[in-house]
Amino acid sequence: MRQPDIEIYVKDIDRTAITVWLESALNAPCVWQEKGRVSRCECAGIPVVWFEKAVGKWHSLLLESASTPWADDTECALAAAAALQTNVRCAPGSWQEADGDSNVDQWLSTSADGSVESIVWHTS
């Protein structure tokens, strides 16, 4: 089942590298509007939010649409890790407020070699 949006956390990558990857993956230009640590753009009709250093050295990339090349966060994280040659984290599945906090620290860690590992990541 396709997720309604995609959110991944990318380690130690600047927005320029993310822009190059997104433009290639979505086959459309991304022109950013900056406001502090948050940048927004629309790329191929998909609203995109980049939150610099959202959690320590990890930057949040949010694609606010179900119309992405990736069905879920994990597919996107694997693609980003391979293309950017860095570690990428994501939630193991779709999460909503109503789900509560029971699994809030459960994450998947992906690496450039395509490996996926279940981890505990305390983000707050």
Of 8-17, 55-64, 86-95, 99-108, which range is least confident?
99-108
Q: Which of 52, 65, 44, 58 shows the shortest CA–CA distance to 16?
A: 52
Q: Count how many domains the chain has.
A: 1
Tell me, yes or no, whether 53 lies in a domain.
Answer: yes
Whether the pLDDT of residue 110 is over 60: the answer is yes
What confidence tens digit (pLDDT) does each residue in 94-105 have? Answer: 655 555 555 668
Q: How far is CA 95 from CA 7, 45, 61, 107, in A?
A: 11, 24, 16, 11
Tell me, yes or no, whether 108 lies in a domain.
Answer: yes
Tell me, yes or no, whether 82 lies in a domain.
Answer: yes
Which amino acid appears at position 6 of this protein? I
Tell me, yes or no, whether 27 lies in a domain.
Answer: yes
Tell me, yes or no, whether 1 lies in a domain.
Answer: no
46 lies in which domain range?
Answer: 6-95+103-120
Tell me, yes or no, whether 35 lies in a domain.
Answer: yes
The pTM of this model reads 0.90
What confidence tens digit (pLDDT) does each residue in 41-84 have? Answer: 999 999 999 999 999 999 999 999 999 999 999 999 999 999 99
Q: How far is CA 81 from CA 13, 28, 50, 54, 122, in A?
A: 11, 20, 16, 18, 21
Tell me, yes or no, whether 54 lies in a domain.
Answer: yes
